[in-house]
Amino acid sequence: MKKRLGPGRRCFGFFHRSAPLEPLVFVWDILDPNKLVLDETVQTADTAVFYSINSQPGVSGVDLGNFLIKRVVGEVQSEMPNIKNFVTLSPLPKFSFWLNSFLSSKVDLELEKSELDSIRSLGGNHLEWPIALKNVLTARGWISDPQKRSILKPILLKLAKIYLLDVKRPNSIYAYDPVANFHLRNGASIYSLNWLGDTSYNGVRSSYGIMCNYNYILDQIESNNEAYLKRGEIRFSRDVSSLY
C-alpha cells in the first residue's frame, strides 16, 4: 500500500457505510512518481491504462467492477479530456499451467510446416512437436535467445489465443483464466496480446512473458457484460482474430 500510494499516484474505490475502512472494489491509477502535477505529455495522452483492479472476496459475485470503472473514467476524463481509450495491461497467470497439460494431450493446432520444423529443431529434433516445445519451454533459457524467441513468438501467441477464448472452467461457460474472467465479467473485450510484455521471472514462469490488453469501450461495457454472463460470449478485436 505504501509503495502504491504517494505523489502522483491515486486509488479509486467503492466503500459501504457498514465497512467504512474496507473498500469493496478498487482500482489503482499510477502516474509518474516524481511529479506532483500532470505535465504537457500526460495532458495530450489519449489512452489510460488501469494498473490493477481488485475486489474483496466477499463481493466476488457482485459485478461492482464495471460501476467503479465508469466512475473512474468520468474522473479521469474530467481532468484529462483527451483520454478516449481505457485499457488494462494484464497477466495470464495460469497460461503455463494449462499449456503443459495441453501439450501432453492430443493437440489439434494448425501450424505451418516451417513452424513445426523450427520447433522440432529447438527441441532436439523430436518427432512430436508438442514434446519438443515442452522441452524448450521447460529449459527456460529461450527468453534470452533472440532466435528461439523469434521462432516461439507465433506459436505461443496462437496458443495464448486458444487459452483465452476457448478454454473454460470445468462445467462452465466462463473463461478458465481468472484475470480474463474478471475483466470479461466487467464488460471488457480482449484487445491484443503483447509478446514479451513481462519478462520478469514470474512473468515468464506463469505466462511465458505474454500479457493481454483488455479494452473497456464505454458504450459497449453493459452489452459485453450481459453477453458474457448469459452466454459466455467473449468479444475480441481483429488483431486477436488474426493470430491464426
Name the residues annotated as catalytic.
90, 183
Question: Under a CB-based contact definition with an 8 Å cutoff, are residues 157 and 195 in contact?
Answer: yes
Interatomic CA distance for residues 72 and 85, integer angstroms: 13
Residues in CB range of 152: below 8 A, 6 or more apart: 119, 122, 136, 137, 142, 208
- Grid coordinates in use for 75? 474522473
Residues in CB range of 159: below 8 A, 6 or more apart: 99, 102, 109
Phi, psi (degrees; rounded to nearest 5) at 55: -140, 155
Interatomic CA distance for residues 27 and 183, integer angstroms: 12
Which stretches of 48-145 are DSSP H helices? Answer: 65-79, 95-104, 113-122, 129-139
Q: Which of 233, 116, 126 has the alpha carbon at shortest distance from 173?
A: 233
Interatomic CA distance for residues 19 and 65, integer angstroms: 18
Question: Under a CB-based contact definition with an 8 Å cutoff, are residues 69 and 86 in contact?
Answer: yes
